[in-house]
């Protein structure tokens, strides 16, 4: 765990979150809130639990991804197909501040947990609903994962070399963007509840809209000029120079697009002629001659190693970066210095290095308080907090309502 002392109170101390999502979008939002002190109670299906438990690389029977996504959470296993389990869920939600769900629209309503029904039980409840296409509109009932949101949001069209098949970013960025938008919405709704009379509200986050919100000038350029932005590989169209350049042992990214930065970059690579060229004094002029500029930079980097290029550009105060692998990250002293690589002891008894916490708050920083739970680890404790007796809990377990 972290060496720093957990501040009291944490930023979200006293906030109770019921997480009913699975896989990535909803649970990533719950993870974020939990890292800053929220009590996150994760409701999982009996028998299997969240499918993320079994995704990608497995150690001691559980995905190591799970160890990150579900830290600081408590697991309650309910069979929500049964009316008694639905009643338990309503009982827990009635005492919560936030409900997170990322089911297909209509699922909660089918369980008798529509926003109107839940607000009748708990008027102050903040309900975050993450789905592929949102709770309204002609596509609301279609299934949608993060990758579909990336495509519809406009991102996938741009992630390719010109004329080649669009590629994915490499991680579930659509889900994560939706989760972060959801976390922002939850914090705004909690603040509004605090200062405006205690009423809760519904936050509707669509995966494709979260992606679309990050697409910068894509639509304004189409509206004003009819311009359809196309894939440009590693370059940043309309901003120059900003690209990936080959070295003797890899690639380096160089962002020399500031006017003064460009001059320092050209001087460093021995192209004072380009540094002093009046046509290249601003971005518009450089964009018009970007192929020439990229060629000059690439010719210089090809004769050097990544380390040599990085050293020379750092001395010239030109932004540059190597393309990091997992090994590079794990061995980088800057990551360690900023507590972005933490050691977490799992409940299976082994240590694993996990990402640190973002953002970094000076007064109430986030912490890892507990490791990720096994399925149903906290069912009895949470139900006891909700007022159920040991006899009632045992009866529910015998009937398969809980695990």
How many angstroms separate the Cα of 402 from the Cα of each of 15, 39, 87, 357? 24, 20, 12, 32
Give which of 138, 7, 70 is closest to 371, Cα–Cα: 70
> Is 279 exposed, middle or buried, given 0-12, 13-18 or 19+ CB atoms closer than 10 A?
exposed
For residues 72 and 93, what is the distance between their CA atoms, to the nearest angstrom? Answer: 19
Pairing of strands 98-101, 126-131: parallel
Backbone φ and ψ for 80, nearest 5 degrees, come out as -70, 0
Which residues in 105-140 are b (16+ Cβ under 10 Å) and which e?
A: beebeebebebeebbeebebbbbbbbbbbbeeeeeb
For residues 332 and 382, what is the distance between their CA atoms, to the nearest angstrom? Answer: 40
Give which of 167, 161, 193, 146 is closest to 52, Cα–Cα: 146
- Residue 67 near residue 373 (C-beta atoms within 8 A): no
Pairing of strands 320-322, 341-345: unpaired
Give which of 397, 376, 368 is closest to 75, Cα–Cα: 376
- Residue 166 near residue 157 (C-beta atoms within 8 A): yes
Give which of 321, 267, 327 is closest to 297, Cα–Cα: 267
Tokens 């970094």 locate to 360
Give which of 89, 9, 6 is closest to 42, Cα–Cα: 89
Catalytic residues: 175
For residues 116 and 120, what is the distance between their CA atoms, to the nearest angstrom? Answer: 6
Bridge partners of residue 96, in order along the sequence: none
For residues 22 and 44, what is the distance between their CA atoms, to the nearest angstrom? Answer: 8
């Amino acid at each position: 765990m972290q060496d720093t002392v957990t501040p009291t109170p944490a930023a979200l101390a006293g906030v109770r979150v019921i997480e009913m999502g699975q896989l990535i979008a909803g649970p990533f939002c719950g993870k974020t809130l939990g890292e800053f002190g929220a009590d996150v109670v994760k409701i999982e299906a009996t028998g299997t639990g969240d499918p993320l438990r079994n995704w990608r690389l497995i150690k001691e029977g559980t995905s190591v991804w799970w160890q990150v996504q579900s830290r600081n959470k408590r697991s309650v296993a309910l069979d929500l197909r049964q009316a008694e389990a639905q009643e338990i869920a309503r009982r827990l939600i009635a005492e919560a501040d936030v409900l997170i769900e990322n089911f297909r629209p209509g699922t909660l309503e089918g369980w008798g947990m529509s926003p109107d029904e839940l607000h009748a039980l708990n008027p102050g409840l903040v309900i975050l609903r993450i789905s592929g296409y949102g709770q309204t509109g002609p596509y609301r009932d279609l299934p949608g994962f993060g990758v579909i949101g990336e495509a519809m949001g406009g991102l996938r069209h741009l992630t390719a070399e010109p004329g080649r098949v669009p590629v994915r970013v490499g991680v579930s960025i659509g889900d994560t963007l939706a989760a972060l938008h959801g976390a922002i919405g939850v914090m705004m709704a909690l603040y509004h509840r605090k200062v405006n009379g205690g009423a809760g509200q519904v936050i509707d986050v669509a995966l494709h809209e979260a992606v679309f919100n990050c697409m910068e000038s894509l639509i304004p350029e189409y509206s004003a000029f009819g311009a359809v932005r196309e894939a440009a590989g590693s370059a940043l169209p309309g901003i120059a120079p900003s690209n990936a350049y080959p070295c003797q042992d890899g690639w380096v990214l160089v962002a020399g697009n500031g006017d003064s930065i460009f001059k320092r970059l050209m001087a460093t690579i021995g192209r004072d002629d380009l540094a002093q060229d009046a046509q290249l004094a601003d971005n518009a002029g450089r964009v018009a001659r970007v192929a020439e500029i990229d060629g000059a930079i690439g010719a210089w980097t090809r004769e050097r190693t990544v380390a040599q290029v990085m050293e020379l550009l750092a001395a010239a105060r030109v932004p540059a970066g190597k393309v990091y692998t997992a090994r590079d990250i794990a061995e980088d002293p800057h990551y360690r210095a900023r507590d972005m690589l933490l050691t977490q002891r799992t409940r299976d008894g082994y240590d694993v290095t996990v990402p640190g916490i973002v953002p970094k708050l000076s007064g109430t920083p986030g912490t890892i308080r507990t490791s990720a739970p096994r399925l149903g680890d906290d069912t009895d404790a949470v139900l006891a907090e909700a007022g159920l007796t040991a006899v009632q809990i045992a009866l529910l377990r015998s009937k398969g309502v809980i695990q």
